Amino acid sequence: MLLLLLAWVGATFGPIFWAWKENALVSLGLVLGLLFGYIVQLIWLFSGNIIIIDMLWMRPNNLFDLNIFTLFTSGFLHSTPMHVLSNIVIIALVGIPLEQRMGRARWLVIYVIGLLGGSLCWSIANLGTNTPALGASGAAFGILGAYLAGWPKDEVYFPLIIIRPWPVSLIALIYFGLEIVRTYQTLGLSQPSHVGHLAHLGGFAFAYACLNTVAKNGPVPPGETSEKFGPLKDLPSEHPFENVAHIMEKLYEEGDQKETRQAWMEELTEQTTCPVCQGPLIVKNYRVRCQTSTSHLHWP
């Protein structure tokens, strides 16, 4: 049983440490950790050791005893495949762009704030009962709350009806609004619910409130957009490139999408050189520039 427990710890937290060490996105490591951890949970289940889960999920009464660590560990356990997938969708699609805004360390801090904020709210609301709870939903809602507080106008790919870039403010407010309705149905109308809506609202509110403090002095200050993530500049009709008319034609045609603009600009840098120093060109933040100096060329 100890081995199965250690396997879970390694599967869950290993990818996060790996991502940190390799300078990769920790949000990506976390998504992998949640998936791998869930697979180990399935092994617990099929090997008849599911009782291990009882050490790690949270019960409201744990607030007052030595099991207080379950406020944290419960956020890395899930009940059903849908449960883990619905959280991973948010952490991957919204969490990864948020990490690019905040940087790794700050992102981890806000993730833990959402996780613990959700756990605390849920525990306090359910004091006196011994019902267990589990799941990364508080942290996932924390990511929505934090992004809404910092950069509400950003657009990220998300499946609302269809998968396309949606404003963060819209995604966050839909999730938040639905939770308010569900909380009211659960508490106000006394409909039974197995989902910790107060954990969701708690994670959302805590992370929303803390974002400005945590993200201060980060890579992109709250409220600001950087060229990299903001809307694309319109391409001016004038350009300094010669003998690449066929590429420029394509660039003007398809340059309104980030992926195609990037691709045609890269093609351009391969086919032509800096008009001032004849040196190589590079593409940065959807602009073509001379590798030696932006004073030679920085277009558009």
Which residues here bind Zn ion, judged by CB under 5 A?
274, 276-277, 279, 290, 292, 296
Q: Tell me how far apart the alpha carbons of residues 289 and 299 are, in angstroms, rounded to a whole number.
A: 6
Measured from the CB atom, is 170 or 283 closer to Zn ion? 283
Q: Among all chains, which residue has been given the structure tokens 């001379």?
A: 290
Quote the least distance from Cβ 275 to Zn ion, whole Å: 8
Quote the least distance from Cβ 251 to Zn ion, whole Å: 20
Q: Tell me how far apart the alpha carbons of residues 123 and 136 are, in angstroms, rounded to a whole number.
A: 15
Q: Tell me how far apart the alpha carbons of residues 45 and 52 are, in angstroms, rounded to a whole number.
A: 9
Quote the least distance from Cβ 289 to Zn ion, whole Å: 9
Q: Apex CA 17: angle with CA 3 and CA 74, to 5°? A: 60
Quote the least distance from Cβ 296 to Zn ion, whole Å: 3
Quote the least distance from Cβ 264 to Zn ion, whole Å: 20
Query: By CB neighbour count within 10 A (0-12 exposed, 13-18 middle, 19+ buried), where does 191 fall?
Result: exposed
Measured from the CB atom, is 212 or 292 closer to Zn ion? 292
Quote the least distance from Cβ 237 to Zn ion, whole Å: 23
Q: Tell me how far apart the alpha carbons of residues 83 and 300 are, in angstroms, rounded to a whole number.
A: 45
Alpha helices in 47-80 (DSSP H): 53-56, 70-73
Q: What are phi and psi of 160, to 5 degrees?
A: -115, 110
Largest CA distance in the chain: 77
Nearest to 139 by CA among 114, 108, 122, 102: 114
